[in-house]
Amino acid sequence: MGAAPAARDVTSYGMGLAAPLALFFLVFFVAPLLQLFWLSLHNDTAGLHWGLGQYLHFLTDPFSLGVLGSTLLLGAEVTAVCLVLGFPIAWLYQRVGPKLQTVIILIVLLPLLTSVVVRTFAWIVILGRQGIINATLQSLGLIDTPLKLLYTQFGVVIALAQVQMPLMTLPLITALGRIDPNLDDASCSLGAGSWRTFFRIVLPLSLPGVIAGCTLTYAASITAFITQSLIGGGQMLFMPMYLYQQASTLQNWPFAAAISIIFLLAVLAVVSVFTTLGRMSRGYGGA
């Protein structure tokens, strides 16, 4: 028998290398999550009676559903603002010289380099009753009484959009950079104007970046506890604060756990819609 030497499969890597991270996740992520789920299946705060009471309570309570709805809506609004403001920046980045590119990148990254708390307090200074905007408008004589900007949905959306902007702009810059500049010229030479080129070529080809940016911005803005609470104040309640109140103030741990699970599932649902869209648009990437 001229048996061939035993071939070694070089594509199998030792799973051992992934073990430390896997262990970390198991102890600090999977286990608490399971504990949370277990907790949510109790009808009383003492954890003596099993049941789906907490979920039923949330899903039949108009107030709770309202908080969930306004949180998901907030995410959508912030994402839309980031997309509309971020796309032109990313587009500009691909069309300027290397010096200006450095400046743009610095401006885009700047929010990431300062603490969320600091950035949020800056917005309080800008949006407050005696803040920069109101003071300017009053000194120009455009308004008599200060506008209510702080503690409004508008204020939260604007502040969150600024805080989360890098998460939208960076994927967009990457996606636009991967588009062959000849495609622009080709479209133009075929008689298409700038708008047609943008809507038929640039926008569809940047979809993977748009979807990645939207997913990140959305997920980050609906869970942004600090900015939501400080700018929204006491009048505006979103899911993270609602959760915090139930757990910390009211000590209603099973209900807080149920809120967490429902919130988690809602976020996962939205993210998976984005991911599905991303998969559908994958055909657009690279020639």
Residues that bind another protein (CB under 8 A): 180, 182-183, 185-193, 196, 200-201, 204-205, 283-287
Which one, 77 or 184, has the nearer CB to another protein? 184
Q: Name the minimum Å distance from CB 194 to another protein.
A: 9
Which one, 95 or 148, has the nearer CB to another protein? 95
CB 71 within 8 A of CB 61: no
What is residue 16's three-state secondary structure? helix
Beta bridge partners of 50: 42
Which one, 95 or 196, has the nearer CB to another protein? 196
Which one, 61 or 180, has the nearer CB to another protein? 180
Q: Name the minimum Å distance from CB 99 to another protein.
A: 14
C-alpha to C-alpha distance for 278 and 273, rounded to whole angstroms: 9
Q: Name the minimum Å distance from CB 53 to another protein.
A: 50
C-alpha to C-alpha distance for 124 and 111, rounded to whole angstroms: 16
CB 211 within 8 A of CB 219: no
Which one, 49 or 282, has the nearer CB to another protein? 282
Per-residue DSSP letter, 15: G
CA 3 from centre of chain: 58
C-alpha to C-alpha distance for 222 and 63, rounded to whole angstroms: 18
What is residue 42's three-state secondary structure? strand
Which one, 56 or 280, has the nearer CB to another protein? 280
First to last CA, the chain: 50
Which one, 71 or 94, has the nearer CB to another protein? 94
Could you tell me which residues come within 8 angstroms of residue 214 by beta carbon, excluding any fewer than 6 positions away? Answer: 79, 83, 168, 274
Q: Which residue, 74, 75, 93, is CA-closest to 170?
A: 93
Residue 70 tokens read as 């306004």
CB 104 within 8 A of CB 93: yes
Taking the CB of residue 149, how many other CB atoms lie within 10 A of it? 20
Which one, 205 or 224, has the nearer CB to another protein? 205
Beta bridge partners of 42: 50
